[in-house]
Structures are given as structure tokens and as C-alpha cells.
Amino acid sequence: MMKITDISKSFGKQTILQDISVEIPSNQITGLIGPSGTGKTTLIKCLMGMETYDTGSVSIHNATIPNRKVLNKIGYMAQSDSLYHDLTGLENMQFFAHMYGGKISKKSVQSTLNLVQLTQEQNKFVQHYSGGMKRRLSLAIALLNRPEYLILDEPTVGIDPVLKLNIWDQLHDLKKNSTLLITTHIMDEAMKCDQLLLMQNKGIAASGAPQEILETFQVSDIDQVFLELEGKEHENASLNETNL
């Protein structure tokens, strides 16, 4: 389990995260969704130990983060691709496999490339990859060591619909042995998650299984939930101004 307790984070005078507490259960896909600028990526970086937080604590499997031993169990795909453009796709995979201590077989490298449908392009230099191909390679690298914890920041951006469905089938298969946290702006993907964390106004505005959230807000899709939350936020702001 991944656990975040009373996390707050500011950059200068701007508060990005405020008193966030949430548990991310094992063997589930948890979707972290919200408008741009609500702090999703910052929260992920705090969870990974890549960003220091001002107050609170983060733990993964009861180990306080940052923790090097735990990081070796995490597969991470960032919002922007971190690839070596002067290497081929296969060479990128081999490099990261070597970083895991040489425990990853050639067969595993090939099966992971096949999963993201890059087998035919594996010997092409990454500088000649399309944006979607780079995202697929980044996803393959995140999956390479069959991690216990998989954190994916908008993994399917630029990927064609058919492959996207195949990837989600694989993610649901992976959750049998892993804990997954995924950010997405695609609402039909959000509905494929086991639970959702809806971020707004520096915190978690709603959480629960997708259908439960829809029933709570009495709406038909997640976009309408955010409209409801935004309306309540404006209403509260107006009441505060009136009281002043």
C-alpha cells in the first residue's frame, strides 16, 4: 500500500498541495485525475521522493519515502519522455535493463517491446520515433522490471485507440501482482480504474470507485462531477465574500 499523510507543498508563496491524506490500495488501479495545474504531477513526485514536501509523510509498504530499496520496486513513467535519442529503442531497453542489475532477460525485453508494439521499430534510432512511439517506449521501460508499484503519468497520450485498449487490458492483468497509480485526462480511461482520486483546489475533492462517485453527485460522467465541484467552490467563495 502507498500512503500519503497530511502532505503540503508550496513553491515560494504559491501553495500547490494542502493537507492531502490518501491511501492507495494494493492490487488496484487508482486513477489520479483533475484539471491541469491542480498538482497531480507534484503529488506523484512527492510520492516518489523526487520532490521534497513541506509537511506530512509518505510511505510505501510501511517504508518512509525516499527509500532507495523501495524505489527499485517502482516502475515510473514521467509526463515527459526521458529517452536517449542517439540510441535505438532496443538499446534504450537494454540500457535500463542493465540499470536493474542485469536481472532482466533478453526474452523479457522482447516481450515488453512486443506488448507496446515496438518490435518492428526496435532497431530504429529514437530521434526518428514519433511522439506516440516515444510514449510507448517510455511505458515499456516502466514495465521492464515487472514492478510491485507502477506509477504512470499520462501514459497513453499520443497512442492510437486500438493499442490503448490493449495496454489497459495489460494494466488490469498487472494489478494482480502490482499497485498502480495512473494520471489521465481521458475520462473513459478514468472509468476503467478501480478507484479515483479527484484533485481540485490543492487537495482531493472526491474519491471512491468511479460509479460510486457518479451516484454520489447524481451525474452521468466524471466531467460533470468537476463542474459540480467547481460550482460549489464558487458558491463557497461568494458566501465568504458576503460574510466579510
| Inter-residue contact 9 to 34 (CB < 8 Å) | no
Q: Is residue 201 part of a domain?
A: yes
Please list the residues that pair with 63 across neighbouring strands: 60
Which of 121, 145, 169 is the last residue in one of the domains? Answer: 145
Same domain, 69 and 154: yes
Q: Is residue 78 part of a domain?
A: no
| Inter-residue contact 31 to 183 (CB < 8 Å) | yes
The grid coordinates of residue 70 equal: 523501495
When pLDDT is cut at 50, 70 and 90, the band that residue 239 belongs to is low
196 φ/ψ angles, rounded to the nearest 5 degrees: -120, 145
User: For the purposes of burial, counting CB atoms within 10 Å of the CB of 201, is it exposed (0-12), middle (13-18) or buried (19 or more)?
Assistant: middle
Please list the residues that pair with 75 across neighbouring strands: 150
- Residues constituting the chain: 244
For 120, the domain range is 85-145
Residue 236 and residue 164: Cα distance in Å, rounded?
39
Same domain, 163 and 229: yes
> How many domains are contained in the chain?
2
Pairing of the two strands 179-183 and 195-200: unpaired
Residues 6+ apart with CB under 8 A from 158: 130, 131, 132, 135
Same domain, 8 and 110: no
| Inter-residue contact 43 to 29 (CB < 8 Å) | no
pLDDT digits (tens, 9 = 90+) for 169-198: 989 999 999 999 999 988 889 999 999 999
When pLDDT is cut at 50, 70 and 90, the band that residue 229 belongs to is confident
Q: Is residue 79 part of a domain?
A: no
Which of 12-26, 49-63, 154-168, 202-216 shows the lowest per-residue confidence on average (mean pLDDT)? 154-168
Same domain, 151 and 34: yes
pLDDT the model gives residue 35: 86
Residue 65 and residue 57: Cα distance in Å, rounded?
8
Please list the residues that pair with 208 across neighbouring strands: 196
Farthest-apart Cα atoms in the chain, separation:
67
Which of 128, 145, 162 is the last residue in one of the domains? Answer: 145
Same domain, 235 and 210: yes
Which of 104, 125, 145 is the last residue in one of the domains? Answer: 145
* Across 90-95, average pLDDT: 96
Kind and range of the H or E run holding 105:
none
Mean pLDDT of the chain: 90
Q: Tell me, what CATH number does 192's domain have?
A: 3.40.50.300
Residues 6+ apart with CB under 8 A from 233: 200, 201
